[in-house]
């Protein structure tokens, strides 16, 4: 039955040139009598059943007992850090950035300033800041900028392994 409908439909498409653009309704006749033939009707499209999808297998959720971690990892997500600064700079304005994503390339420190934990103007004399940092932060860089034309920052480094919860910086 499929073949009986399919063969005439293909023959019509081939004979009519595939249907054209649809804007030209005249059909040329090869007999030269100038009469146009009525447009051919196309059979209704065969209905195809919708594709069936097989559901993805649902995996059982993991239990916290299934999590394996390093012995050093204590599941505490944050650490407290006390940053003590002694600003002895002669400049009237000194600026501080404390950031955790940085690298050193050919002796030049490249800092991702979107990861700064603290940005502030330093007062003259002593100041203390309490920082709460993520448990995954192992090192920080403090950049002290004298707010002057052509000033280059001084970099000070903190390491969780070496410096613990206290960090002291003396700015000269």
How would residue 72 be classed by pLDDT, with cut points 50, 70 and 90?
confident
Enumerate long-range contacts of 155-161, CB under 8 Å, 24 or more apart: 155/109, 158/81, 160/79
pLDDT value of position 29: 46
Count other C-beta atoms under 10 Å from residue 143's C-beta.
20
What pLDDT, in 10s, does the model give residues 145-163? Answer: 998 888 899 999 999 999 9
How would residue 106 be classed by pLDDT, with cut points 50, 70 and 90?
very high
Q: Quick one: which of 61, 122, 62 has its CA closest to 93?
A: 122
* Backbone angles phi and psi of 163, in degrees to 5: -110, -15
Please give the residue that has the higher pLDDT: either 95 or 39: 95
Spell out the domain ranges in the chain. Answer: 79-171
What pLDDT, in 10s, does the model give residues 35-56? Answer: 555 556 666 666 666 667 776 7
How would residue 132 be classed by pLDDT, with cut points 50, 70 and 90?
very high
Q: What's the pTM value of the predicted model, to 2 decimals?
A: 0.55
Tell me the CATH class for 79-171: mainly beta
Angle at 100 between CA 95 and CA 106, to 5 degrees: 85
Mean pLDDT within 9-31: 57
HSE of 60, CA atoms in CB hemisphere, 13 A: 4
The helix (H) or strand (E) run that includes residue 97 is: strand 94-99
Mean pLDDT within 127-138: 92
Instruction: Check whether 82 has a pLDDT greater than 90.
Output: yes
Are the beta carbons of 125 and 87 closer than 8 angstroms? Answer: yes
pLDDT value of position 133: 92
The rounded mean pLDDT for the chain is 80
Residue 66, beta-bridge partner list: none
How does DSSP classify residue 101?
-
Residues 126, 130, 133, 137, CA torsion sign: positive
For the record, the structure tokens of 93 come out as: 């304005």
């Amino acid at each position: 039955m499929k073949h009986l409908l399919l063969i005439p439909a293909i023959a019509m498409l081939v004979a009519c040139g595939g249907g054209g653009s649809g804007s030209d309704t005249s059909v040329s006749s090869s007999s030269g009598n100038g009469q146009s033939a009525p447009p051919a009707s196309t059979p209704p499209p065969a209905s195809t059943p919708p594709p069936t999808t097989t559901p993805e297998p649902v995996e059982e959720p993991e239990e916290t007992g299934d999590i394996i971690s390093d012995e050093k990892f204590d599941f505490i997500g944050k650490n407290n850090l006390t940053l003590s600064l002694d600003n002895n700079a002669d400049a009237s304005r000194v600026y501080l950035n404390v950031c955790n994503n940085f690298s050193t390339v050919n002796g030049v420190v490249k800092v991702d300033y979107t990861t700064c934990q603290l940005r502030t103007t330093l007062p003259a004399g002593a100041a203390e800041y309490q920082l709460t940092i993520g448990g995954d932060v192992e090192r920080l860089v403090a950049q002290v900028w004298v707010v002057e034309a052509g000033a280059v920052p001084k970099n000070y480094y903190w390491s969780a392994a070496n410096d613990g919860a206290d960090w002291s910086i003396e700015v000269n």
